[in-house]
Amino acid sequence: MSSQSELTEEEVRERVEEVLEENEVVLFMKGNRLIPSVATPSVRSS
């Protein structure tokens, strides 16, 4: 399989389908293993 930056849309779809078929629970998130990118909602204080 090619590196992540070189995956075609079809390769990504196929890989996602494989992961979903092979695992009971899956977490997809932005970023990478070393630097996850998690957005948090802004919180207003009253």
Let me know how long the chain is. Answer: 46
pTM, 2 dp: 0.54
CA–CA dist 22, 42 (Å, integer): 36
Q: What is the pLDDT of residue 2?
A: 45
- With b meaning 16 or more CB within 10 Å and e meaning fewer, what string describes 22-46? eeeeeeeeeeeeeeeeeeeeeeeee
**Which pLDDT score is estimated for 38?**
74
Where exactly are the structural domains of the chain?
4-33
Q: Say how far apart CA 23 and CA 37 lie, in whole Å.
A: 23
Do 9 and 17 form a contact (C-beta atoms < 8 A)?
A: no
Question: Tens of pLDDT along 9-43?
Answer: 999 999 999 999 999 999 888 888 888 887 766 66
pLDDT at 6: 87
